[in-house]
Structure 1
Amino acid sequence: MEKFTSKITRAKCPAQLIYNRFESLEGLSSILHHEKIDHVEASRDECQIAVKGIGPIGVKVDAREPFKTLKYTSTNGKPIAFTVWLQLVEVSSQDTRIRLTLHADIPLVLRFMLKKKLQSGLDQAADQIASAFSF
């Protein structure tokens, strides 16, 4: 599996606020780009997303460590098997550091094409989470 780690970003809020937003997959549909999505089915622990041109993608919450770590894992391994960790370190009540880590089983043929895009996407996601929680 290939490992990608985002840059560390900073949110101006307590870790609990970020953790509470991401610990349930039920709210995932509100942050997805609906023009690329055919269907979303979500519960607290699992989510099935039908993406146009790709097909179904399943994600489940694999582990929770309150206010510190969330681990998400693909459920069907398609288009690729992956695991994502959202790591939170609360420095103070108005300073939480955020890091995303992705382990992805990328086929050798696609590895070169996807490596930079996945790294860039992970960094952008970390930036977006930090800015969304910095009020």
Structure 2
Amino acid sequence: MATFESTVKTITSNEEQVYGTLSDLRNLEQSKHMVPGNTIQDIEFYEDKCHFTVNPIGKIDLSIIDKQPYKLIKLGADNAPIDFHVNIHLNKADDNQTNLHVNAHADIPPMVKMMFGGRMQQFVDQFAEALAGINYK
């Protein structure tokens, strides 16, 4: 299993606000403009899942499969050509700041990682950046 890690993003909101916002995927709609349209298209958000198309992979559905209040939101791929999941980790930095980082775990062979690993890393980095850009107030 290959792992891809984002850098840590600091959000100026407490972990309760951040977790509460991210627990409803419809709140990600406000970060939609940060997604590059040439790689990810047709994004739709629902309370506990989202759908999008990744060129050249195809349509992917992500659903919330696990939550640990104020610490973790785990998204699993329902119909992707590879088995993968994405973790959103939250850690309290201080009373009004939360550190966020994203990692993705993909069950891909080493040869495929060489071909698509850069795109997976780019996805993780852009996803973390988009999450950091949400208004959590």
The gaps in structure 2 that reach 5 residues or longer are none
Q: How many residues align?
A: 133
| Alignment match, 2:7 | 7
Contact 1:39 1:51 in 2 (8 A): no
Q: 1:30 to 1:10 in 2, by over 3 A?
A: closer
Give CA deviations for 1:73-127 in whole Å, capped at 9, x if unaligned.
Answer: 0012x23221111111112122211111110123444311222332244234324
Q: CA deviation at 1:131?
A: 4.5
The residue type equivalent to 1:10 in the other structure is T
TM-score, normalised via structure 1 length = 0.76
| Alignment match, 2:59 | 56
Q: Distance in 1 between matches of 2:68 and 2:60?
A: 24
Q: Distance in 2 between matches of 1:118 and 1:52?
A: 12
Indicate the RMSD between aligned Cα atoms, in angstroms: 2.8
TM-score, normalised via structure 2 length = 0.75
| Alignment match, 1:112 | 114
Q: Secondary structure at the match of 1:31?
A: helix
Residue correspondence of structure 1 range 5-84 to structure 2 within 5 A: 5-32=5-32, 33=35, 36-38=40-42, 40=44, 42-50=45-53, 54-76=57-79, 78-84=80-86
Q: CA deviation at 1:53?
A: 5.1
Percent identity of the aligned residues?
Answer: 26
The gaps in structure 1 that reach 5 residues or longer are none
Contact 2:93 2:99 in 1 (8 A): yes
